[in-house]
Amino acid sequence: MSGYYLIIIVTMLVSWLVSSRLKSKFEHYSKVYLRNGMSGKEIAEKMLRDNGIYDVQVISVPGQLTDHYNPANKTVNLSEGVYMQRNAAAAAVAAHECGHAVQHAVSYSMLQLRSKLVPMVNISSTLSQFVLLAGIAVMVASRSIQNPSGNTTVLAIGVLLFAVTTFFAFVTLPVEYDASNRAMKWLKESGTVTSEEFVGVQDSLRWAARTYVVAAIGSLAQLLYWASILFGNRRN
């Protein structure tokens, strides 16, 4: 289990470093005020209109970096630090979340796949750790001279459950990158931000995307660890 804890520690450390860098970037670009004076809410509403989307509502939600698009009730949810702010960081976040709304409107395939996976991921993320630990216990307890590998059925189920969450993490990557690309393209082509402000938008979104990359790699590392125990044990 020491290898597993090492993976967790390294993943948490890298995640913390990237998250800290992301926060510092947003703090920096929150001081770069937009020349057009538009708030995050106004930018979001303009991007939706420019893309022919009139059935999505832009609302404010409490918290920091809690921004998200909800396809169930068609709402772009902007945090308090984005909704009324008039800076490059707010523009980046507002446009990115609207990028998801555009994906929904045009039936972007990876977003559709991600949405279909959500119910499965909710179950697998809740059960996988418990099943994996139970699988290790069952495997060790069932070892015998006749069966030195022990019973690995429960462990195999745990690995499959964890594989679902890992797959979801990697499906999320193109969804997030595509939303950012849509946001940057619109912000630049619409003239909503100046060239100087666009640099801040681009830098903010790139660091935000890296948090998803770290999460996906960390999940894959954990999956490979559990799989190595399962298949390595079966060869014994």
- pLDDT tens for each residue of 123-167: 999 999 999 999 999 998 988 877 777 889 999 999 999 999 999
* 14 Cα distance to chain centroid: 15
Instruction: Output the pLDDT for position 121.
Output: 96
Q: Given 42, 45, 97, 197, which residue is catalytic?
A: 97
The residue extents of the domains of the chain are 2-235
- For residue range 50-104, what is the model confidence (pLDDT) as tens digits? 999 999 999 999 988 799 999 999 999 999 889 999 999 999 999 999 999 999 9
For residues 17-42, average pLDDT? 91
Q: What sign does the CA torsion over 208, 34, 27, 101 have?
A: negative
Instruction: Output the pLDDT for position 101.
Output: 97
Mean pLDDT check: name the lowest of 20-29, 41-50, 173-182: 20-29
| Residue 145 amino acid letter | I
CA distances from 120 to 87, 91, 128, 221, 227 (A): 38, 33, 11, 21, 20
d(CA 201, CA 209): 12
* 233 Cα distance to chain centroid: 33
Per-residue pLDDT band at 233 (split at 50, 70, 90): low
Q: Which helix (H) or strand (E) holds 60?
A: strand 57-61
Instruction: Output the pLDDT for position 1.
Output: 58
Instruction: Output the pLDDT for position 85.
Output: 94
The question of whether 197 is a catalytic residue gets the answer no
pLDDT(235) > 70: no
Please state, rounded to an integer, the average pLDDT across all residues of the chain. Answer: 92
